[in-house]
């Protein structure tokens, strides 16, 4: 049986950090894993900026709560869930993703957690597991599933490599150029067609 594993931001939802950058007028927060492949380096950079500008978790949650899933995301996700188990494997945080999960009818989500002090200041983050996306794919394979992985950025590469089928969805040209072994699609209709080959 197939299990379909998807990244969240860039696949089903807008990039939360880009939305925060636009809402706060801090362009340095636009950097994502598409720009900085080293996740720890990127998060340390973000936390310094948040601290310097006094941005708290409630402020970020308010911005992110106003975002909607990408057009067509919910319909595609509903289609996929009707055909096989679906899991979202993301490098976001539960504290950010709750609003998105409600709008997507609460798919299973594996992600990370933030460390927050009593004033709502984000002081750090805790990874659920190092290289968690790849390790989830390995665990699902050990449970007897064949695996599909779909992502859009550098932080998805290890899960795409490990899956029986790894596909880029709306990935930047640079990412697609660096990893040509993975097919790339630009629409949910094309992604559905790729999934249908595996079902």
Q: 186 catalytic, yes or no?
A: no
Cα 125 to Cα 39, 40, 46, 93, 116, distances in angstroms: 11, 10, 11, 9, 8
Q: Which residues contact 38 (CB under 8 A, 6 or more apart)?
A: none
Q: Contact, 58 vs 117, CB < 8 A?
A: no
Q: 22 catalytic, yes or no?
A: no
| Residue bearing tokens 């040209």 | 173
Nearest 5°: CA angle at 21, between 19 and 27?
140
CA-based nearest residue to 182, from 137, 147, 150: 150
Catalytic residues: 7, 9
């Amino acid at each position: 049986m197939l299990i379909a594993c998807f990244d969240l931001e860039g696949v089903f939802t807008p990039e939360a950090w880009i939305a925060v950058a636009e809402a706060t007028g801090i362009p340095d927060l636009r950097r994502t894993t598409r720009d900085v492949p080293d996740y720890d380096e990127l998060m340390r950079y973000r936390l310094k900026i948040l601290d310097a500008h006094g941005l708290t978790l409630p402020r970020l949650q308010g911005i992110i709560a106003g975002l909607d899933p990408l057009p067509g995301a919910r319909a595609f996700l509903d289609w996929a869930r009707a055909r096989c188990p679906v899991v979202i494997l993301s490098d976001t945080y539960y504290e950010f993703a709750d609003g998105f999960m409600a709008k997507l009818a609460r798919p299973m989500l594996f992600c990370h957690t933030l460390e927050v002090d009593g004033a709502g200041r984000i002081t750090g983050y805790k990874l659920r597991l190092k290289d968690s996306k790849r390790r989830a794919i390995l665990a699902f394979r050990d449970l007897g599933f064949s695996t599909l992985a779909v992502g859009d950025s550098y932080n998805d590469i290890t899960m795409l490599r490990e899956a029986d089928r790894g596909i880029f969805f709306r990935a930047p040209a640079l990412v697609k150029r660096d990893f040509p072994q993975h097919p790339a699609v630009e629409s949910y209709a094309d992604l559905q067609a790729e999934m249908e080959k595996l079902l």
